[in-house]
Amino acid sequence: MIYAENIFICIAVPLLISILFAEGSARGFIASFLTGTAVCLLSAYISGFLQIVSGMSVGDTAVFLSPVVEEIMKFLPMLFVLFIFMPEDSGLFIAAIGIGAGFATFENCCYLLSSGAASLRYMLIRGLAVGVMHIISMLTLALGLVLVRRVRLLSLPGIAGAFSLSVIFHGLYNLLVSEPGISSAIGYILPLATAALLYFPYRSLRRTGVLF
């Protein structure tokens, strides 16, 4: 048993104070990071509730329900930022990275407290696989949103398409790591490999002026 709310308070208070003194994009990033930690906590509540309602096991909930719940919860603040603040492309990316990093950090903190930090192998998996996965799914979402806005198709189908892509990526990761053996190994490599694959078109798009 861990006290996730207490961990959240411990992480959130310094961030809240930082927001008061930060300016510009730094403030945006800290606020997004804080939002990411909050939506991680809320996602845990909702997944737990759905697990009880559906009668699924903990493993099946992680494979089938959690990716959907977590991506919806990360998606909602992105929508808020997109439509309320209407940021530039770079602002949208900062929000996405902040929410993804905040989510991954809070999730990692909770896992560390529940499973211990003695195993370096486990720590590397948490950091390099799960942590990167949350950031990549958010970057994918942000890139999708920027593109549908760029072709003036910022409509429900375009937004839903970008969101759904982040869900299937997260779902594939959770499915692969749900079973030991070669599938887990592939799953753990998947986020870093995707990050590497995403990096080059991202740079190319920035160079050609398609992105900011």
Residues that bind another protein (CB under 8 A): 60, 63-64, 67-68, 71, 143-144, 147-148, 150-151, 153, 155, 157-158, 160-165, 167-172, 174-176, 178-179, 183, 201, 204-205, 208-210
CB 28 within 8 A of CB 85: no
Two tokens, residue 77: 């603040």
Q: Of the candidates 105, 46, 48, 95, which has an alpha carbon nearest to the alpha carbon of residue 75?
A: 95
Closer residue to another protein, CB minimum distance, 63 or 94: 63
In Å, how far from its chain's centre is CA 140? 10
The least distance separating another protein from the CB of residue 111, rounded to whole angstroms, comes to: 21
Give me the least distance between CB of 79 and another protein, in Å please: 15
Specify the residue, 24 or 209, whose C-beta has the smaller distance to another protein. 209
Range 126-142 burial, b when 16+ CB lie within 10 A, else e: beebbbbbbbbbbbbbb
Residue 107 Cβ vs another protein, minimum distance, rounded to whole Å: 18
Is 57 or 114 the residue whose CB approaches another protein more closely? 57
CA separation for the pair 211, 66 (Å, rounded): 31
Give me the least distance between CB of 123 and another protein, in Å please. 25
